[in-house]
Structure 1
Amino acid sequence: MVFLIGTLSIHKIIKTLKFIRSFRHKPALWVLIDQGVVSLGNFLTNILIARNLPQSEYGTYVLIYGVLIFLNSLHSSLIIYPLSVKGAIADEKDLRRLTGDSLILTTILWLFLSLVIVAATAFIHRIEIAPMAICALWLWQNQESVRRSLMSHLRYAESVWGDSLSYLGQAGLVWFLAQQGQLSVESAFIIIGVTSGIAAITQLAQLKAKPIPSPQIWHFAITAWDLGRWSLLSNLATIFNIHAPPWVLTMFHGTGEVASLQAINNILGSTNPILQSTPSLIIPSVAKARLEGKMPAVWQVVKNYTAQGLLFLLPIYSFILVFPRKVIELLYGSNSPYLEFEQMLRLVVLVYGLVYFSQVVGATLQGLEENKSVFLAQCASITSAVFVGLPLAAFIGALGAIIGSIVSGFGRVTIGIVLLRKFQNSQKSI
């Protein structure tokens, strides 16, 4: 009997190990795991920094971190997007070559992007932050290049280890320094750089690639420009509706107002995995349904994935709407200066709801290859930001910026729906 039980136990262990190993061959699952790791790490890091830095210092961090995010979007257009496209059709040897070339081009681009950080830190009279932020940018962009190389071959099961070191590692180190009373704006950027560097080395070893330029590097540079220049233009346009408001708030109301707005936004960051994964599901599904000539199937796909996302979002949004103060207190403490912004948190829920629907509409248009319509909807958002959002941010402060985001979101969703209906009517007439 004991032998039989032992045999059955061993059999169960073997089956469990086989089941775990089978995960390596399920990229879709590892995509979700990797996105979860990145989003969780970012969420925890943002909450911990907001909770432990003085309000004005946190505002300073938000401004410079926002500059890094913007510069990363330019790097993504010119390096990451072309690398992902070309890497997907390359063999292992060519992928290593492309990775090496991308790292060299990343460094060249970084030399120019660093000047923006110098200008930004000088503008707010915190030039001492520049060296740490510049190093963090270089290491972060290098890690992003290497992880995207892995992802181009659907090696998500491998990329998740480096991403865990980077994003969860950031949260862990921020928590440790906060406990020691050593957390500062400068140390926060040092942490970003250190964890990104460790992750980059780890993922570079997984790829077996070296940061050495190949004879084809300039050919890849020209190809990257041809592929990424329109994406670059689109990302440059986000200055007006995403990156400008914090600077307007700083100029008219100080960094404390920026801190308040970002602290409230951080809370809704817990829903980012859903906001980001839903479009990635809609685009290929819509494209496939359209290719098969089944327009009713297109709309059904959109309805199904939209409903699935709402199934997760509605409970979270409802809880925040009903208990905003409790949520702020839970994340930032009972003595937090952000407790007074519970009504603004309710409005930010509306902003994120509009972001979700604009993502759904935009993903549907992309799946239908209506990229011009996506750009037109984005133009509506930018126009609203310039003529409504930025003036309100200047005159009212954080509340004005939120109201501007609501107006901008409504504009983008409305224009997107109008363009979708126009496309639908054009298909009926064919």
Structure 2
Amino acid sequence: MKNLTRMLKEPGSLALADQCVLSGTNFLTLLFVSRQVSADQFGRFSLAALGLLFLANAHRAIVTQQLNLLGASEDASGLSTRIATLLRAHAVIIPVSIAILGALCVRFFPDLRLFVGASCYLAFFMLQETLRRYWYTVGRIDRAFANDLITYGGRLAILFSISFFTVVSGSTVFLIMAATSLIAFIAGLPVVDIARTVTMARIREVVAQHATTSGWLVLTVLAMWGATQLYPFLIEPLGPTAIALFVASRNLLNAIGIAVQSAGNYLPTRAAKLLHEQGPAGFRRHLLQTLANATIVSIVFILPMLVFATPILEVMYAGRYNDAAPVLRMLSIGIFFALVGTVLGAYALALQDARSNFLSNLGATAFTFTGGLWLIHAYGLSGAAVGGCLSVAIATVLQGAFVWSGIRRLEEADRGHGTTMSPRTGSDSPIRVQPECSIRTGADA
């Protein structure tokens, strides 16, 4: 029991538990809304949620990931000033983000109440997420986990409580999400070491640092969205019901997201260590073994979706979206490519090759706006499912080509020098990487 308690308090275990809470709550929230509202309303809610997810990804690239990277090497005073600056910067970030959300609303989900609810959630989510990432930066994952229990656990408690008394609309769900995020932010703010005064010179310095280092990350976010996330928006001409069927299928497949996220978090540092200790040969062997394991996990997950698609939809959505069975079967095949792509992306990071992340997803984006659009035009919803699967497959194949090319270069350098070379510098020093996966099917907003 003592060993179990100690293991649960380990940072890695807490981080995994935190991710489970976040991913599980987002999965259950979509499931809850799908059973509360009509198919048309669920389609519009899903587009609003995807718009929020895009803005959350951009916020992560510009603000929170830079907080992790830059703040990790700062002393307490410097980090205190950085978090103070970033929180103040939300006075500009939030209105700009809401304006972008408004543009998406006008085009894709014209519903004023839905927009108001989503805007409130976006504002308070960004503030709470900034605090959450601050705790990850200072190594206090226990505080991040506790704060997320307020945000996400509180959300589920309220949603399921009021559902006994009334039917909950999509806009109400967003307002509840906003309320729990605000409560968590207010609860967490007093325990964060925030500088009380910050000079304008320091504010300009922090803003310049984030602007300089986030450029490629923002481009990568755009590329990943073009590769995997745009299809619900592209099928908007087919109507809200078609969007609801597509999103209902994808939501079930997001159940494997915890495994994908865990692999993306763990593998880069593990692979980098192997490359340093065992050289390219050991790195290659470990990659092949990991790919074999990923294939087995994918098959175990995919087979029930292929065989029991209709019964699964019947149970999960109370018979509302049984017509999505063909879409679910096709999209489930993409899980194999998503998981393999995550593995390859992690090993690419171990090779210190972050550029391949962008290029592989850019190639998939090019297909989305050519072959994907043609498939939707020719075959409707089924074409969107095929296109989504092919986009992920293309990104994975391209990422694999980059990884194998990098391994070959390392092996040639190793044979030429007779030592284990690091991929960029030619030294045998340990390789440090940021644990982020390359090819994804989505992120949690």
Query: Which TM-score applies when normalising by structure 2?
Result: 0.86
Report 1:242-321 matches (<5 A).
Answer: 242-250=228-236, 252-292=237-277, 294-309=279-294, 312-321=297-306
Which runs of 5 or more residues in structure 1 are unaligned?
A: 1-14
The structure-2 alpha-carbon separation of the partners of 1:207 and 1:237, relative to structure 1 and needing over 3 Å to count, comes to same
Asked if 1:398 corresponds to 2:381, the answer is yes
Equivalent residues of 1:249, 1:394 under 8 A apart: no
From the superposition, tell whether residues 375 and 117 of structure 1 become closer, same or farther in structure 2 (CA, over 3 Å). closer
Describe the shift of the 1:342–1:28 C-alpha distance in structure 2 as closer, same or farther (beyond 3 A): same
- Residues 146-167 of structure 1, C-alpha deviation per residue, up to 9 Å, x if partnerless? 0000011221122111112212
Q: Give the partner amino acid of 1:230.
A: W
8 Å CA contact 2:302–2:335 kept in 1: the answer is no
Q: Which amino acid aligns with 1:222?
A: A
Find 1:79's aligned residue among 49, 56, 63. 63
For residues 72-115 of structure 1, the C-alpha deviation after alignment (integer angstroms, 9 at most, x for no partner) is 11111111111111221233443333222111113311111211
Q: Distance in 2 between matches of 1:239 and 1:376?
A: 13
Q: How does 1:172-211 map to 2 (within 5 A)?
A: 172-209=157-194
Task: Pick one of 101, 105, 112 that aligns with 2:96.
Answer: 112
Alignment pair present for 1:373 and 2:368? no
CA deviation profile, 1:189-209 (whole Å, cap 9, x unmatched): 101211111222233233244
C-alpha separation in 1, matches of 2:346 and 2:35: 35
CA distance in 2 between partners of 1:306 and 1:165 (Å): 37
Match of 1:338 in 2: 321
Cα distance change on mapping 1:285 and 1:126 into 2, 3 Å? same
Within-5 A mapping of 1:137-216: 137-209=122-194, 213=198, 215=200, 216=202
Residues in 2 aligned to 1:304 and 1:155: alpha-carbon distance in whole angstroms: 33
- Alpha-carbon contact 1:40-1:168 (below 8 Å) kept: no
Asked if 2 retains the 8 angstrom alpha-carbon contact of 1:43 and 1:269, the reply is yes
Amino acid at match of 1:221: V
Cα distance change of structure 1 residues 207 and 174 upon mapping to structure 2, 3 Å threshold: same
Q: Give per-residue Cα distances to partners, 1:120-151, cap 9 Å, x unaligned.
A: 22224323322222111110011110000001
Larger mean Cα displacement after TM superposition, 46-55 or 229-238: 229-238
1:154 counterpart SS class: coil
1:418 counterpart (372, 394, 401): 401
CA change 1:396–1:169 in 2 (3 A) is farther
Question: How far has the Cα of 1:305 moved from its partner?
Answer: 4.0
1:236 has 2:236 as partner: no
What's the CA shift string for 1:253-295, capped at 9, x where partnerless?
1111111100011111111110111122111122222234611
- Give the equivalent residue in structure 1 for 2:421: none
Range that drifts further, 309-318 or 319-328: 309-318
Q: Counterparts of 2:262 and 2:290 in 1: how far apart (Å)? A: 10
Counterpart-to-counterpart distance in 1, 2:198 and 2:250? 41
Task: Say what the alpha-carbon RMSD is for the aligned residues.
Answer: 2.2
Partner of 2:312: 327
1:341, 1:398 → 2: CA distance? 9
Give 1 or 2: higher helix fraction: 1
| Greater CA drift, 383-392 or 305-314 | 305-314
Determine the C-alpha separation between the residues in 1 that align with 2:114 and 2:27: 23
Contact 2:284 2:407 in 1 (8 A): no
Check if 1:20 corresponds to 2:5: yes
1:179 partner SS: coil
Residue 136 of structure 1 aligns with an amino acid whose one-letter code is Y
Sequence identity percentage: 21
Q: Distance in 1 between matches of 2:293 and 2:162?
A: 39
Query: Is the partner of 2:139 in helix, strand or coil?
Result: coil
- Tell me if structure 1 keeps the 8 A contact 2:226–2:362: no
Cα distance in structure 2, aligned partners of 1:211 and 1:295:
50
State the 1:213 CA deviation: 4.9
The corresponding residue for 1:362 is 345
Q: CA deviation at 1:413?
A: 1.9
Please report how far the alpha carbon of residue 23 of structure 1 lies from its aligned counterpart in structure 2 after TM superposition: 4.1
* TM-score normalised according to structure 1 size: 0.89
Q: Structure 2: any 5+ residue segments left out of the alignment?
A: 414-445
